Structure 1
């Protein structure tokens, strides 16, 4: 009963033009010396090449942006340093002017003079043992530091 319908024919006939294109494509692929693995490798290489090219393009763009940013930052830092230099120079000139206005000789305090005299006297008395004068030397140092601090606060106090 159904024996005629189930027999296979050796030829396929496509009625539409679309089928003919598919048939020609299938035949050309089957007759091609390239295997599926080769075509897949070639496609993969093409994709890798495109990705690599895109990465290089993006890297070049990033390098260019980085260069522009670095140039802007360098320019800003130069401007900032110029502003800093100007303000420091102005402060120095102000302090120099104040020092010029001060009397040229620094008055020594009586306490500093007494401490200095005590150190000299001790060193003369203990010429063989100068380390015995450490108390007098420390007192002299304290008085000099006090005098320096007073002078600095007097000069810089108005700034």
Structure 2
């Protein structure tokens, strides 16, 4: 029943608003091995290729810009670190020289010697209970810290 309507007839004539489409054009379209889906697929692949090429071009441009920025940052960092590195190394060598010149026994002040003697005396008196000497130990720690601070200020203060 519907089989007669679905078969293709030999010639088709398409009419547009003012004239007919040329017979040669229609004939070449009908005899072309490409179907509409093939043409659509080829057109889609062409568009996809153009988009891919444009993305690659943009990616390359972005990579070049990124590389240039990285090189600029590295150059600035190297300049800054060399300046800092040289000044720090000079400071270290100056301090090392001063410490070598001042090496030797550290003079303990009388207050530190007195605090040390007090700790020793307390520990001897309380040999079974050394925790009772916490006040003397704290005083000794305080005096040693003061002596260390004075030494550091003396060495670093001369810079």
Q: TM-score range by the shorter chain?
A: 0.7 to 0.9
Aligned residue number for residue 122 of structure 2: 122
Q: Deviations over 1:129-156 (max 9, x none)?
A: 2111111101000011111111211221
Q: Does residue 107 in structure 1 map to residue 119 in structure 2?
A: no
Which runs of 5 or more structure 2 residues have no equivalent in the other structure?
Answer: 1-11, 14-18
Q: Judge which range, 37-46 or 26-35, deviates more.
A: 26-35
Aligned residue number for residue 146 of structure 2: 146
Q: Judge which range, 95-104 or 47-56, deviates more.
A: 95-104
Q: Deviations over 1:104-138 (max 9, x none)?
A: 33221111110000001111111122111111101
Q: Does residue 95 in structure 1 map to residue 95 in structure 2?
A: yes
The TM-score, its normalising length taken from structure 1, stands at: 0.73
Structure 1 runs of 4+ off > 4 angstroms?
none
Aligned residue number for residue 8 of structure 2: none
- RMSD between superposed Cα atoms in Å: 2.9
The TM-score, its normalising length taken from structure 2, stands at: 0.73
Q: Report the alpha carbon displacement of residue 31 of structure 1 after superposing the two structures with TM.
A: 3.3
Q: For the residues of structure 1 that align with 2:152 and 2:125, how far apart are their CA atoms?
A: 35
Which runs of 5 or more structure 1 residues have no equivalent in the other structure?
Answer: 1-9, 12-18
Q: For the residues of structure 2 that align with 1:122 and 1:132, how far apart are their CA atoms?
A: 8
Q: Does residue 83 in structure 1 map to residue 72 in structure 2?
A: no
Q: For the residues of structure 2 that align with 1:145 and 1:47, how far apart are their CA atoms?
A: 78
| Paired positions, count | 143
Aligned residue number for residue 7 of structure 2: none
SS of the equivalent of 1:128 reads: coil
Aligned residue number for residue 43 of structure 1: 43
Q: For the residues of structure 2 that align with 1:83 and 1:151, how far apart are their CA atoms?
A: 29
Q: For the residues of structure 2 that align with 1:26 and 1:145, how far apart are their CA atoms?
A: 104
Aligned residue number for residue 9 of structure 2: none
